[in-house]
Structure 1
Amino acid sequence: MFFLVATTSVLCQDSVPHGDLQPYFDQARKFRNQNKIDLALETLNTAANEAEKNEDLKSLIDSLHELALLYLKLDKEGDTEFYWDRASVLLKDIAYPYGDAMHKYIESILLYRSDRNFQSLFMLNEAKQLNNDRNFYNNLLLIEAKVYLNLEKYESATKNLNSLVVNTDVYEKEYLATQAYLTLAELYLKTGNLSESAKNGEDALTLAQNNGFLEEVKEANRLLSTTYEKLGLYQKSLVNSQNLVQLKDSIFTIDKNKIEVKTADKITDDYKTEEIARQEKKIEELTESQNRSELTAILTSAFLIIISLLAVTLYRNNQIKLKTNDLLQTKNKELQIARDGAVQAMEAKTNFLSTVSHELRTPLYAVTGLTHLLLEEEPQAHQKEHLKALKFSGDYLLNFINDILHINKIDANKLEPLNMEFNLKKVIKEVINSLTQSAKTNNTKLTLEYDPEIPGQLISDPLKLSQIFMNLIGNSIKFTKGGEVRVIAKLLNKIEDDVTIYFEVSDNGIGISKEKQQSIFEGFEQGSIQINREYGGTGLGLTIVKSLLGLFNSKIELESNLGEGSSFFFEIKMKSMDDLPEGDITFEITPRDYDFKGLHLLIVEDNKINQVITKKMLSKKEMTSDIANNGHEAITLAKENVYDAILMDIHMPGISGEEATIEIRKFNQDTPIIALTAISLDDSLESFYAAGCNDVVTKPFKPEVFYQKIGENIFDKKIKSSLT
């Protein structure tokens, strides 16, 4: 028996171990995209024979998946599920992440086709976690965009499709771009933007005709016929309609459809016939190895008994099965409704936090920016005192917003620990140095007890570790006046390059009562209302610590007595890099002085107050600037003028900053673009960079960070370019 193969747009890639079978998969993919399904089936039939002969289990699984997807293209969902089920059996006996990813990808398409969109999105997200191949990821983006279109989440769909329009896929660049243009045309038709629908439809038609994508040529003509009719361009609509009719009624198309159905049915029949032959061969081998007469009698008796039992119980089993299926369907519907409700509730929470974050950060940018500018204009002594108080209040509110968003990002599984080389002692010292002034204010002594046996170079996430220590040490300082805060780092064990390190932050401050120790790690908990009023703060620091340690599979523990102090301790496993020379590896930007005089920048910002503040901050460094009120103006100004850099706001009415950046990169690849945005919970830095941004500065920002980013992206980039 052999398994037949049908290719899909995600399987012919260098991360899939096809080996000698790769040419078959490449050829089949070409046939599939040109809608030559019968040729694709025949090519993959040969590949399946080879996989069976070589006992190549992974290629066999890939063959089943490709066959399942190709039958989907023929709208034979029954055959798709048939081969998908057989792949499930093989995947149980082998560790094959790519095969698991493809399995979930196919399931997501089946869910999408049955209009179960939230479940489809869930399966797509699980598939993303199992494989990060670029071609695979691009095809996931395409299906995800179509699901978003079904859910009327047009902005999310547009973001995915715009990235596919300019994709750099090694295998299917033109095919993916064609599909993206078609889906954009459908989206704009659905939202009433008929001119954009027509433009994308024409782009899709051109690409499809140039590359022989016959199915996409038909779809483009169908969309254009409808769009031009709604625009009142009846002559153009008639041309596309006639093209569509001609394509559908052509002898070639009719014969082709007959051949495809005949080939598909023949392959399925051959598969089942071979399975029967294989079972018969096994029976023959068993018969020959035993006494023929005795074995025949035994097998005949057993067969008759089994047939009799099956006949008796078949009716009863069918009745039970029918009742069970009815019950399961009812329960499944209830579970689906509950699951959809939970997903919608999580989305509502995420959208709310995203909106609140952006709406608060935008006026905060005005508060902190104007305060900074006023402090630099040599105010009077009593005014300076008020301005510093205003700056402190703005910073406090910003930290509060950041804490809430940080916790929700962790809860939404949007944070993962990084793995990078760093010097642990330097990380802890930098945190202690940054908190020295707070300790002096409270007359508190800060000490570090660091085990010299800890390897100099480690691999983990220094940024999240510094956040943990910043919250723990800062918390101890706040509640310890005239006392001592001790920070301890001790090597527990080291096996080859695996090390376990014990950390402790202890103080002799006010302590925590036994009753409050159970809830102190919950959000907004500070022991009591009186403590909150006396010491201030949001009570989120320990909640963030607990959440961050969860990312390291670690748990924080507490020992405390009221009036005697507290000790927080935990363990983290890391990797050692003993082979590297010990030294300080910093993960922070080293400040530099730049001469900004004479630079000319473009500010893209829809908020008038923010425009004034940003322009004023540039002029303080003798830089000039133009202002674009939205993304369309930004594209026009970038075409007509030469700028040293572009400061791009992301959230704007009309087209977003990401979309404007994508358009600018089509004609300008060199000018640095810095995303200057009040980033929210739902935003992704990866999508900013994918759109073409060189860097990101979060509003409200520290002025020194703002100037540093401008200098790096203008001057450092020029130095690198001259060296290359």
Structure 2
Amino acid sequence: MPTPIKQFIAIVLFICCFFTYSQTEQGVIKNQQIKDSIDNYLIKASQSIDQAKLEPALSNIIRAKEIALQNQNRTYRAKTNMVLAKLYRELRDLEKAEDQILDAIQIQTEDNDEIMLAHSYAIYASIATQLKKYQTTNEILDKALALTKKKDIEGLEGSIKLNQGLLALSQNQPKEAIKHFKGGLPIIKTYNLAYLKAKLYVNMAKAQLAIGELDNAEATNDSSMQIGIKQSFSEIRSESNELYSRIYEKKGDYLTSLSYLRAHEKIKDSLFNTNKEIIAQEAGAKLNLNENNVLIEELTEENIQQQKSLKLGRLTTILSIALITILSLLTLSLYKNNNLRARANELLQNKNTELILAKENAERAGEAKIQFLSTITHELRTPLYAVTGLTHLLLEESPTPNQKEHLNSLKFSGEYLLSLINNILDLNKLEANKVEIESTSFNLKKRINDVLIALGKSAKDRNNKLHYEFDESIPTKLKGDPLKVSQILINLIGNSIKFTQNGDIWIRVKAINKIDTKVFLSFEIEDNGVGISEKKQQNIFENFTQGSVQINRKFGGTGLGLSIVKNLLSLMDSEIKLESELGKGSKFLFSLKFDIFENKNSNYTEEAKKIDYNVLVDKNILIVEDNKINQLITRKILEKNKVKCDVADNGDIAVHKVKENSFDLILMDIHMPGISGIEATKQIREFNTEIPIIALTAVTLDDNLDEFYDNGFNDIIPKPYKTEEFFTKLHKALIKKQTTM
């Protein structure tokens, strides 16, 4: 760019900057001048009020308020209202005074102007005292004192002390008033606040007179009178003369009392006349304004009449044409609207019919879904009961170590399968966050070992190596939901095994932090398998989603595992993170919080250890169960503990056997041919209310179990059950029966 052009641009920029700065500087100077002008008017007005020169006070207030309103300055509008409130207070128009000071307080509160707000509170306190709103005065003074101390406002505490004294004096508490006056006097003297000092002296003299200290009252009143004369405070001189009159009346010097009373009346009359003139001036201003308004209105009305005369004929014609046009359009519109309404009604009726049919279909589908879930739950849980029950029996028959390991793995897999069935059947509950998290004690390291044993064969079949790294600083016993932790790990590790061939899978568990009785753990499941593309990582955790169609064909699966993992972790206040690269493997990360188990409350395992199994010996128990395998398993478990068992294949047989025989306890299934377990229990309760009846059922239990208890059951054991829970509930029921008998 040529040098002359650069110079020209530089000069233009300099001129623009200078002009902008000049305009800004002028604006700042103008604003400051406006503020100084308002402050000057308000200071003059306040001084005039103290000297009872109310006419110039009003004049200065009006000027200040006009400037504040023109410049839309809220702060100075509030300040003007404060001084105007003081003026109305001196005029004894306390209602207007209260309105003005409340307007000021509202603005200062909204603007958070705490310094001016403290001054407004002090003014409002004196007005509220005169209005005999003593509770309001007390609250306002507390607020003013708090703001004064917070903002360290010089001299205002003296005014607050004065108002506290005036409040006490108004409530006939002269001694309390003197205490406040004496507390405020040093502060007022320090800041040389002449009017407040005079006001304090005259009111302290009144309090001293009230308690009979005539000499002290006279001396204090002398101080007030001296300030009133020196500063030309007419109101103070009037009050002091009136107080002298009362003091000398108390002393019995009636002539002197009379002379002071005349002096007081003379000043008072002068003040009253001044006040009348100010009020008259204000009224006159309003009358002038009204007269101007009337004149303007008359001129406007005359102009309007002339315009009407000129346009009347043309307006009549236009209105006639407009009326005819409107009526024609209205007729046409009504005709079209009627046609449209008829068609709309027909469409609405058709839509309503369709909606009713859709609603009925949806209700039928919902009922079918509920019935299906109820049936499939029972059908799946019943064979699972056989798996877990037979596993328990085999574990008690002294298996070899190798067999025991396989049986423990089978037991674990059965528990996991039960949990998985519940979560699949209640997937809508899971997504609606209605599945509850349990809190039981468990050994996390052993739990993960069981998972790895259960998945060991799958890993071996695909020639994968499992590497387990467990932080030994993690406490042995934790409190949480072990089944859900297992389900999360089985899904993630199983996922890694499925998508890795001839590779390695790492399972890492580390302690992140420990606070009081809580421990925070991080979990990592990493593999060097096929990996997941960046595009698919965004929706891999959605229901029924897998990496691709080719993966689905090659590896199989429902695509539900990672969705369940995500929902379960969300339920446990955590989230799953994924780091993956196509062809290089995947890493899943999450963290969980557990309570460190403190053995204060026993669970079923602990309770089972305390059971006195002698209570079960020779007890007669009726097993009501239609499934032959389940009959066999339950019977064998009981007979191992020397219990005498009888079996009923359905509810009708059970009712008959209870009538004919004596039993110590009944284990009742719910779904059976003939009458249900609930109906059988109701019939038994008609003739036997003492025998304990426990529901041993594969039905999915809702949150509300009242139906079982209302129909006569003492307790409920869901199938498949843990033997510890089974024997704990049996023992409890038998002990309770013995105690009752």
Which TM bucket (shorter chain)? 0.3 to 0.5
TM-score when scaled to structure 1? 0.43
The structure with the greater share of residues assigned to helix is: 2
Relative contact order: is structure 1 or structure 2 higher (C-alpha 8 Å, sep ≥ 6)?
1
Larger Rg: 2
TM-score when scaled to structure 2? 0.42
